[in-house]
Amino acid sequence: MDQDLRLVWLYCVIDDAVRLIVGDGRTRSRGTEPELTDAEVLTLQLWGEMEGLASDAAIWRAAVDRWIDWFPTIGSEWNFTRRCANLHPLMDRVLVLLFAPSGDWNAFDGLPLPVCRQARANRDRRFKGEAAWGYCAAKGEHYYGFKAGVSMNSHGEIYRLWLGPANVDEREMVEATAFGMHSLLLADKGLISPVLTDLMLGRGIDLTTPLRRNMKDARPHWVVRQAMRLRRRVETALGVLTEHFAIARTRGRDFWRWSSRILRKILAYNLLHRFEGIAASA
């Protein structure tokens, strides 16, 4: 697919979203507006993530080499990388504006996000008091870092993100993020909890999980199989984020910059997924 067309489409989507969010107001409480707009900075960030570039500096260098005619006011590398981290609140609002839960079904899953190797964990000072030890059931190993809880709609788009220490129970993530929907919420066995199920029912959400082998299940087997087949789509999405967007190898010297890069990887995945869907149907 034509890279120029994708960049133009991406800019149009982001610029429209920023205009809807900001309206007649400003994103800054003081000072003059920079020549390179927030929409342009965010567009370049997301383009860089789609290209697999590993850092803000790498995105800046690639943009200067390739898109300087389109973004002549891109400025210095230092200024660009500083603004990348400061756009975290705007990215959060763009995610909420562009992506929403579905009315038929949604899915939830957790993703371990280590910040360093186990041998370095006890002397790592970057996230002191923020990161924690957790356990990854898929790999059967302990790790040091954080955990992401993601909610995905039936279109394959991640519309809600929760980040916290690796030792947080996923049931707490669901309790904090599952709202604003009235549909099935598909999850794995780790979310089996009568208390959580009743809480979700009170919100109009039908929490659906497979049961353990020693538990009786009165539901038809084909219903459970179909529900879990749909839920595996969120696992596929997390696989793409891990392999193509390297979300588990995100670097950052503090939680603010690190979480900002996690969020933009989610946004880049969603927008690339939407663009490919539009291109396939064209």
pLDDT band, very low/low/confident/very high, at 96 (cuts 50, 70, 90): very high
pLDDT at 27: 67
* Claim to verify: residue 188 and residue 49 sit in the same structural domain: no
Average pLDDT for 229-248:
91
* Claim to verify: residue 166 and residue 242 sit in the same structural domain: yes
Say what the pTM is: 0.91
* Claim to verify: residue 236 and residue 171 sit in the same structural domain: yes
Cα separation, 72 vs 92, whole angstroms: 27
Question: What does the block give as tokens for 132?
Answer: 């924690």
Q: Classify residue 276: in a domain, yes or no.
A: no
Q: Classify residue 264: in a domain, yes or no.
A: no
For the chain, the helix, strand and coil percentages under 3-state DSSP, each to the nearest 5: 50, 15, 35
Domain limits at 122? 100-249
Final residue of a structural domain among 37, 66, 97: 97
Helices (H), 137-212: 170-177, 194-202
pLDDT at 28: 64
Q: Taking 80 as the threshold, does the pLDDT of residue 125 lie above it?
A: no
Percentage of the chain with pLDDT > 90?
Answer: 51
pLDDT at 18: 94
Distance, C-alpha 204 to centroid of its chain = 25
Question: What does the block give as tokens for 5?
Answer: 């067309």
Average pLDDT for 23-28:
69
pLDDT at 247: 93
Final residue of a structural domain among 76, 97, 118: 97
The phi, psi pair for 238, rounded to 5°, reads -65, -30
Cα separation, 89 vs 5, whole angstroms: 27
Which residue has tokens 């500083």? 82
Number of domains in the chain: 2
Q: Classify residue 277: in a domain, yes or no.
A: no
Q: Classify residue 273: in a domain, yes or no.
A: no
196 neighbors 169 (Cβ within 8 angstroms): no
168 neighbors 131 (Cβ within 8 angstroms): no
Final residue of a structural domain among 50, 69, 97: 97
* Claim to verify: residue 183 and residue 123 sit in the same structural domain: yes
pLDDT band, very low/low/confident/very high, at 29 (cuts 50, 70, 90): low
- Considering only residues 54 and 245, tell me which one the structure prediction assigns the higher pLDDT: 245
Q: Taking 80 as the threshold, does the pLDDT of residue 135 lie above it?
A: yes
Q: Taking 90 as the threshold, does the pLDDT of residue 217 lie above it?
A: no
- Considering only residues 138 and 146, tell me which one the structure prediction assigns the higher pLDDT: 146
